[in-house]
Every structure is written in C-alpha cells, then in structure tokens.
C-alpha cells in the first residue's frame, strides 16, 4: 500500500501537504488535471481530519427564493426569467410572511436569494428582513448574493457599503456564496457577460467582511472553464481570505445543464465532483469548512465526499428551485434524521450547527 502511494506522481505535493506547506498555482493545476483521485482524496481527507476531526456539520434551514425575475440572463441558469415570461414570479411581503410562518420552528437559518429584479426596491428588502426578524427573532438570516447586493446598490445609487449597512441594520446576518461562478473574464464573457466581474464580486465580499458580515464562497464548475481557471478562482478566494478571514465555507457548485443555454454540455461526473471538492480543500488552506451541497451532488456522492475533504453537508433545505429548474433529480429537502444517518453511516460525528458554525447539538 505504501509502495502504491509512493508511486504517485503527486509525491512532491504529498510532501508539501503533510508538511503543512501552502500549495502553488502549478500544484493546483497538476491536481486538477491528475487522474489519481484516491491520492488527492487521501490528502484532502488528511487535511480535513487535522482541521475538523471527525465532526460533520449540517444545518436545519429553509431556502426561500423570493423572485425568479432577473435582469441578468446567464447562459447557465434555468431559474431566472424575464418579467413577462411564463412562470415569472415575485413573492409579495405577505407571501414571504406565509412562507416564514410555514417553516418548521426548529430551523436556525433562513437562506433567501433570488434574481435581480429592478422592480424590487431596497425598502422591499429592508421590510423583508425586518419581517423575518419579527417573526423569527432567533433565526439567522443568510441572504442576497454579492450580485444582488451590487445590483441593489447600483439601482439605488448607493455605495455597496451603504447598501450593506442598511441591510445589516434591517436584520441581514450573513451573505451566501452564490454568484461567484468562475472569476475568469474569459468565462464570464462567454456565460454571463452582463453579470458583475469577479473583481466586483470579491470587492462586495471584502466590504461585507470589513463590516463584520461573514460570507460564504462558491464556484460553479463543469461548464466551459479550464483547470487553470478553476485554480485561479480558488487562489483569488484564498488571497481575500488571507486579508479578511471573513469566509466561513467554500461550496463548489456542480453545473446542471438541463433547460439552460448550455444544454449541450454533459453534466459533471462523480469523478470530477470529488476531485473539485478535494482540490478545493487542499488549495483553500485558510478556509475552515468545505461544503458538499447534497442537492447538487446527490445524497450518495455527497456522503462519499466526506472522505474527500468535506466536513459539511449543508442542510434540510425544504425547497430548492435553482438546481431543480436545471434538471436536478434530488429531493427538495432531507429530514434532520436522514442527514444524521448519512453522516453516522460514514463513521463520523454529526453536529447540528448554526450558520456561523456554533454547535447546536453534537450527536456522538
Ligand atoms: O449563484 C445557477 C448557481 C447559485 C445553475 O452559500 C447553478 O451556503 C448549478 O449559491 N447548475 C445559487 N448551479 C446557489 C448557491 C448556494 C447553494 C447552497 C448553499 C450556498 C451557501 C449557496 O447556483 C447561483 C449559481 O452560481 N447556479 N444555475 C445550474 N444550472
């Protein structure tokens, strides 16, 4: 076994990982291009074990998508609609109140994201946040991607900082990682030319971190990006994290092609999914958590990913629209017990967390 491992062409990278040394761009590209999945997984699992031990986190949460109307039509998105298109919707504050009322009492997080609809004012969002806080004072509100925040700032002729301060004052607790896609200008020009640049996404996050608002980070992979572009994306996140420490977790998002303008691209394979998760764990040495979003990966692969650097499975979710619009075959939600079973059957310790990783219940 040791001999087999020593045959790996990744031996120099293995030595660096075991010595706790930071990996370079070239290391990252070699890992992304390598087919030695088990060595990559072994190394990622080693780092995960050192950082998080045997704990695997999950959250009792509910996703709400308040609108699918979106000015920015990205080629990879099957969720966004034009205002007059069939199926377009925007939830009124009353409908939001109902959705919150209908949410199980035990959820600790509301995850609220939607399209960039220029009919929605900053006041709508402030009212939405105040409403959620009035109804569920104990519930953490993670909402609005960096893209929505930049859009809202622009529409209201406010700075990003001022917009964030108003949202924070109304009850916004943290920001999810969506909208990052792949930072490469080449990729963005091709798949989402009207979206904010990668630099802008990073600068919104930096502003949030400086205001004490913690955020997540994502990367949408499996479309037209190269291995080097994936690595550059991860290194830009690592660089910002070095400066602010404001990111909580990184979530690679597997592209789902159905009903999108990129429908001819094949869905990601399990092999690639595990590799991206594991390489992310290895390159993002300053991120505490790597999350497998089971909705996008399927529960079985998400469970296996616990041996490939992952320490978080996200949540109960309840209702998910973005990936399901693009053909996801997974369920809309899982029960807490189902997530616990997935974790326990992998020989690990389930920990129910809140959004900022306080332990709510450890089930050893
Ligand atoms: O921003 C859009 C991506 C994101 C597709 O922060 C697609 O904890 C796959 O960001 N196939 C929204 N992905 C989801 C998201 C997220 C999910 C779970 C947890 C967290 C977190 C964040 O989904 C979008 C976009 O990058 N997306 N279309 C698609 N066809």
Find the CATH number of the domain harbouring 257.
3.20.20.70
Q: Closest Cα to atom 21, ligand 1: which residue?
A: 176
Res 7: pLDDT: 60
| Order of all β-strands in the sheet with 140-143 | 61-64, 109-112, 140-143, 174-175, 214-221, 247-254, 289-290
Q: Kindly state if the Cβ of 78 falls inside 6 Å of ligand 1.
A: yes
Query: How does 199-208 read in b/e, with b if 16+ C-beta sit within 10 Å?
Result: eebbbbbbbb
Instruction: Classify residue 312: in a domain, yes or no.
Output: yes
Res 3: pLDDT: 54
- Among the atoms of ligand 1, which is closest to the Cα of residue 218? 10
Instruction: Classify residue 16: in a domain, yes or no.
Output: no
Q: Structure tokens of 281?
A: 């764990």
Res 363: pLDDT: 84
Mutation pick for ligand 1 pocket among 150, 215, 253 (CB with most ligand atoms within 8 Å): 253
Instruction: Classify residue 14: in a domain, yes or no.
Output: no
Res 65: pLDDT: 97
Q: Kindly state if the Cβ of 77 falls inside 6 Å of ligand 1.
A: yes
Distance between CA atoms of residues 351 and 292, nearest Å: 15
Res 6: pLDDT: 55
Res 159: pLDDT: 98
Distance between CA atoms of residues 18 and 226, nearest Å: 27
Mutation pick for ligand 1 pocket among 178, 250, 324 (CB with most ligand atoms within 8 Å): 178
Other beta carbons less than 10 A from residue 3's beta carbon: 6
- Tell how far the Cα of 29 is from the centroid of ligand 1, in angstroms: 24
Distance between CA atoms of residues 22 and 285, nearest Å: 7
Instruction: Classify residue 18: in a domain, yes or no.
Output: no
Torsion angles phi and psi, residue 340, rounded to 5:
-60, -45
Instruction: Classify residue 179: in a domain, yes or no.
Output: yes
Res 8: pLDDT: 76
Q: Kindly state if the Cβ of 293 falls inside 6 Å of ligand 1.
A: yes
Q: What is the pLDDT along the chain (364 residues), one digit of tens a residue?
A: 555 555 679 999 999 999 999 999 999 999 999 999 999 999 999 999 999 999 999 999 999 999 999 999 999 999 999 999 999 999 999 999 999 999 999 999 999 999 999 999 999 999 999 999 999 999 999 999 999 999 999 999 999 999 999 999 999 999 999 999 999 999 999 999 999 999 999 999 999 999 999 999 999 999 999 999 999 999 999 999 999 999 999 999 999 999 999 999 999 999 999 999 999 999 999 999 999 999 999 999 999 999 999 999 999 999 999 999 999 999 999 999 999 999 999 999 999 999 999 999 988 7
Distance between CA atoms of residues 280 and 326, nearest Å: 24
Q: Kindly state if the Cβ of 355 falls inside 6 Å of ligand 1.
A: no
Q: Kindly state if the Cβ of 114 falls inside 6 Å of ligand 1.
A: no
Q: Kindly state if the Cβ of 256 falls inside 6 Å of ligand 1.
A: yes
Other beta carbons less than 10 A from residue 344's beta carbon: 14
Collect all residues with Cβ–Cβ distance below 8 Å to 94 and sequence separation of at least 6: none
Q: Closest Cα to atom 10, ligand 1: which residue?
A: 178
Q: Kindly state if the Cβ of 181 falls inside 6 Å of ligand 1.
A: yes
Give the domain range for residue 175.
Answer: 23-362
**Total domain count for the chain?**
1
Instruction: Classify residue 13: in a domain, yes or no.
Output: no
- Among the atoms of ligand 1, which is closest to the Cα of residue 257? 30
Instruction: Classify residue 238: in a domain, yes or no.
Output: yes
Q: Kindly state if the Cβ of 318 falls inside 6 Å of ligand 1.
A: no
Res 2: pLDDT: 54
- Among the atoms of ligand 1, which is closest to the Cα of residue 76? 30
Helices (H), 9-36: 11-18, 25-33
What is the Cα 135 distance to its own chain's centre?
Answer: 26
Helices (H), the chain: 2-6, 11-18, 25-33, 37-52, 93-102, 122-135, 146-155, 160-170, 185-191, 198-210, 227-244, 270-283, 294-297, 299-304, 322-325, 336-345
Instruction: Classify residue 1: in a domain, yes or no.
Output: no
């Amino acid at each position: 076994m040791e001999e087999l491992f020593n045959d790996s062409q990744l031996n120099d990278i293995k030595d660096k990982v075991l010595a706790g040394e930071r990996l370079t761009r070239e290391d990252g590209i070699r890992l992304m291009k390598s087919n030695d999945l088990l060595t990559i997984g072994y190394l990622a699992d080693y780092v995960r074990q050192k950082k998080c031990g045997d704990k695997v986190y999950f959250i009792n949460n509910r996703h709400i998508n308040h609108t699918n109307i979106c000015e920015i039509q990205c080629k990879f998105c099957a969720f966004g609609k034009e205002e007059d298109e069939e199926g377009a919707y925007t939830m009124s504050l009353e409908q939001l109140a109902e959705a919150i009322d209908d949410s199980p009492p035990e959820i600790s997080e509301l995850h609220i994201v939607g399209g960039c609809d220029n009919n929605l004012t900053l006041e709508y969002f402030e009212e939405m946040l105040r409403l959620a806080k009035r109804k569920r004072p104990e519930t953490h509100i993670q909402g609005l991607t960096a893209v929505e925040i930049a859009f809202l700032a622009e529409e209201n002729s406010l700075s990003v900082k001022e917009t964030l301060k108003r949202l924070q004052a109304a009850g916004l607790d943290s920001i999810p990682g969506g909208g990052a896609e792949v930072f490469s200008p080449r990729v963005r020009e091709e798949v989402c030319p009207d979206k904010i640049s990668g630099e802008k996404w990073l600068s919104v996050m930096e502003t949030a971190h400086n205001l004490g608002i913690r955020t997540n980070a994502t990367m949408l992979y499996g479309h037209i990006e190269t291995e080097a572009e994936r690595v550059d994306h991860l290194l830009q996140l690592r660089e910002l994290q070095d400066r602010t420490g404001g990111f909580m977790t990184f979530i690679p998002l597997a592209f789902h092609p159905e009903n999108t303008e990129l429908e001819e691209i094949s869905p990601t394979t399990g092999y690639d999914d595990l590799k991206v998760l594991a390489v992310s764990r290895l390159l993002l040495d300053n991120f505490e958590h790597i999350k497998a979003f089971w909705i996008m990966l399927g529960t079985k692969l998400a469970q296996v990913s616990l041996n490939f650097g992952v320490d978080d499975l996200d949540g109960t979710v309840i209702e998910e629209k973005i990936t399901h619009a693009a053909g996801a075959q997974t369920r809309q939600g899982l029960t807490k017990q189902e997530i616990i079973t997935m974790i326990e059957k992998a020989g690990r310790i389930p920990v129910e967390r809140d959004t900022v990783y306080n332990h709510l219940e450890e089930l050893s």
